[in-house]
Chains A and B, each alone.
Chain A
Amino acid sequence: DAMVIQNPRYQVTQFGKPVTLSCSQTLNHNVMYWYQQKSSQAPKLLFHYYDKDFNNEADTPDNFQSRRPNTSFCFLDIRSPGLGDAAMYLCATSRAAGVLETQYFGPGTRLLVL
């Protein structure tokens, strides 16, 4: 089945130690998104790629970076995680950009910062 895959499902890191979360998709979708969801809150968009074009949200901290080496894979890099970065990180894809396009989410990666 076509799907969005995130690894690992759970990630523990130390304060200030760089960490990378990965997302892959078999849907061949053009757009990939990264969301941050803190406990009991709605997901918040960090950035997205349309093909190779990177689009950052204005309020996304510089501590968060992303890479998309090819259509299938997208990575979220947190350069120096703080305690406030502990959250669920959700990857999503959509076939194209556009207000009528559905986004499909992966299972998420729960990040714990010690």
Chain B
Amino acid sequence: AQKITQTQPGMFVQEKEAVTLDCTYDTSDQSYGLFWYKQPSSGEMIFLIYQGSYDEQNATEGRYSLNFQKARKSANLVISASQLGDSAMYFCAMREVSNFGNEKLTFGTGTRLTIIP
């Protein structure tokens, strides 16, 4: 079963507009971590923002904020005042324990964001 679902394969947004990237997750664990990463065309995976399952307040990091709705199991990324440099692939990920007993980061399929001048 899909653990992390990103329903938007691609998005086009006008520069300076805000954008919301959707992410829903599935887990029966009480303790989990949700992460967003940005991957430009160069390939590097850049950590953006993190939300712990016990955090009551939504995480914010500069222009990035995470709209965490625990009951709905969603963790959407909001980018305010988008810039051309925001064009990249964005991955939502959840830290969980694998079937092999190891902890790992499970990624969604990603959303390719393109900022239009």
* Contact surface of A with B, Cβ cutoff 8 Å: 33, 41-43, 45, 48, 55-58, 88, 90, 92, 97-108, 110
Contact = CB atoms under 8 A, between A and B. Distances in A.
A97 B95 CA distance: 10
B37 interface: yes
Given A105-B44, A110-B43, A42 B110 contact: yes
The 3 A-B residue pairs with the shortest CB-CB distance in the complex, in nearest-first order: A42-B107, A105-B45, A99-B95
B45 A58 contact: no
Interface string B86-117: 00000100011111101111011110000000
Interface stretch (B16-24, B46-54, B62-70): B46-54
A75 B29 CA distance: 32
Contacts of A90: 43, 45
Given A48-B102, A101-B95, A43 B45 contact: yes
A98 B33 CA distance: 9
B33 A99 contact: yes
Interface residues of B, number: 30
B28 interface: no
* Interface majority SS (helix, strand, loop, mixed), chain A: loop
A92 B103 CA distance: 13
B44 A107 contact: yes
A100 B37 contact: no
Contacts of B33: 99-102
B42 interface: yes
A104 B43 CA distance: 14
B57 interface: no
